[in-house]
Structure 1
């Protein structure tokens, strides 16, 4: 992982934000600049960018920038310990096994600490298998105009959520196939910025039909591989540090990711009464 920041978080008051992220959240201050601060977090390196600063010179390319009001996700290996340290945070448990700890930051963002889901590999596979049906059920009966509704100002529309779900599924398929076909091999994932892809792929205006079909095809293909290859859920790739990424864990993460976005679509429908 790069030691340079990969994401910029624009802030209104740099001093206040540095105190919050270091003293309150426990992130490490790596470097202080006149108009920005480089922090190390459990999920990598970020840059707190003061008002009107161009963060690009500080970032490892391609670099991303948090949008106003965004949810900032950080991994924690022990969510209970993090909850004890942050008693004002809200612990969220979803019906599909996710555990998140959320609290506001001083700039209007939501800080969300996440940890591994508590699904068994078999439960994760069942949730993964059901994702295409869940998505299609959540979209049933919507008109083209209704696909452009969002659950709140600044949030993605239903249309954008659908395209993002497919982007994530397609982006993950290579790592899963490498793990199943060549267990134990080195794999270097190539992360993407959802906001950059949303804009670059014109997700705000494309019809969703092809993305829904591709989402189903990816899921059905992977389920078939897992069912036909003995011990597939236990197979894994390794990263450059030697850490293992098992298929069961990847499937669980993708299953929970999809379930969360399906719930956002349903929430949008509830907000608009459709």
Structure 2
């Protein structure tokens, strides 16, 4: 049972940083991030309120919470990119995503506002990502929870994974009766 729960938690596996991050890999990751708002909209557009309350695993988030979480998470990520681009290895502010997912704006309102946030935010984010040069990609922020410096090129990969990770959660939840 524990192995099954782990598979439901990480249906595409956990993010693994490649030993070498090539320009082609970064371009592929940016493409995944660019396509995410349309993909999540397509996965959720015809769902009823009852269907939006389906979970991808026992004690997991609902589809509605996943959509709102993606907006919250991607807002935080864009801010982290901007901090790293404008400050010398800034320490980022972590947030309690599980607690955010329990707030009223994650549980009790339509997903439309978060879909709009993702559409606008990703337009700006992709523009920023496509403008980064080799030096920019090496810039880092410090994550106080992991006690690690994270380069922007690695963070692009982490967020491409994040997009695919939560799309997989939505697809699993849609299949649950």
TM-score by length of 2: 0.78
Taking the aligned partners of 1:194 and 1:175, their CA distance within structure 2 comes to: 15
| Structure with larger RCO (C-alpha < 8 A, sep 6+) | 2
Taking the aligned partners of 1:238 and 1:211, their CA distance within structure 2 comes to: 26
Whether contact under 8 Å (1:158, 1:268) holds in the other structure is: yes
> In terms of Rg, which structure is larger?
1
Give 1 or 2: higher helix fraction.
2
Which of 38, 55, 62 is the equivalent residue of 1:157?
Answer: 62
User: Given the alignment of the two structures, is residue 134 of structure 1 paired with residue 39 of structure 2, yes or no?
Assistant: yes
Offset of residue 232 of structure 1: 6.9
User: Given the alignment of the two structures, is residue 236 of structure 1 paired with residue 126 of structure 2, yes or no?
Assistant: no
After superposition, the C-alpha distances for 1:17-66 in whole angstroms (9 at most, x for unaligned) are: xxxxxxxxxxxxxxxxxxxxxxxxxxxxxxxxxxxxxxxxxxxxxxxxxx
Q: How many residues align?
A: 165
- In the alignment, structure 1 segments of 5+ residues that lack a partner are 1-69, 72-91, 101-113
- In the alignment, structure 2 segments of 5+ residues that lack a partner are none
How much is the aligned-residue C-alpha RMSD, in angstroms? Answer: 2.9
SS of the residue corresponding to residue 245 of structure 1 reads strand
Which of 115, 123, 130 is the equivalent residue of 2:16?
Answer: 115
Give 1 or 2: higher strand fraction.
1
Whether contact under 8 Å (1:128, 1:254) holds in the other structure is: yes
Whether contact under 8 Å (1:162, 1:211) holds in the other structure is: yes
Q: Which residue of 2 aligns with 1:196?
A: 99
SS of the residue corresponding to residue 203 of structure 1 reads helix
TM-score by length of 1: 0.53
User: Given the alignment of the two structures, is residue 211 of structure 1 paired with residue 117 of structure 2, yes or no?
Assistant: no
Taking the aligned partners of 2:26 and 2:113, their CA distance within structure 1 comes to: 29
SS of the residue corresponding to residue 158 of structure 2 reads helix
